Structure 1
């Protein structure tokens, strides 16, 4: 156990890059929580983001195949619909990240092994101002 702690190198981050500092701190908290508690990680927010992205990519892929099968002048209405749908879904994805995820970087499920207590759900989020040096 002591050898493992000595072999881990410290994370080096440019202190003026606020996104890198925030991500490094988030990762450190995630590792500490995973090491200390026997919780399973919940991926529902990431799954939601992946689902929205998957639908957007399906629209783009359908437009690509349709344009291949029916060259441009004939495929114009379908391309317009698919491109608009793609950009609307990217807007939905951005709203999902802002209002549903809310800077959440870790979700955990705490299940009671005896089954007597209800399952607890833990969520950690962080926020760092863009040009904050603290």
Structure 2
């Protein structure tokens, strides 16, 4: 189980957790960070704690070292938005890719299966380095809704 205090930028089970948002089942939380597995569960970059145990989140986000890399997460009701940078988008790797893709991924919670499912992604294509990028997922919500 997971009994650590909710905080940002800590290591859990040898994984670096960058951000946490409450969501999903009562007592649930979505975590993002630089990891491939969390407590033996394969879930690159994003994982779900349902209040009792870890669950893998179906995803298509893979960083160039094989790990998922989520930097920020914002959840409201049954929706989550994850900010990260990855070298694949919906399982597709562009042939002209010379650097990871900045991505905002939208997830919907399904209370029947008690899990999160990817819906769409919003790619930000530029050459600016992502390291040190401090804008949280919540900052992108108005941008996404206006499109």
Fold conserved between structures, TM > 0.5: no
State TM-score, norm by structure 1.
0.23
Greater share of residues in helix: 1
Greater share of residues in strand: 2
Which structure has more relative contact order (CA 8 Å, sep 6+)? It is 1
State TM-score, norm by structure 2.
0.22
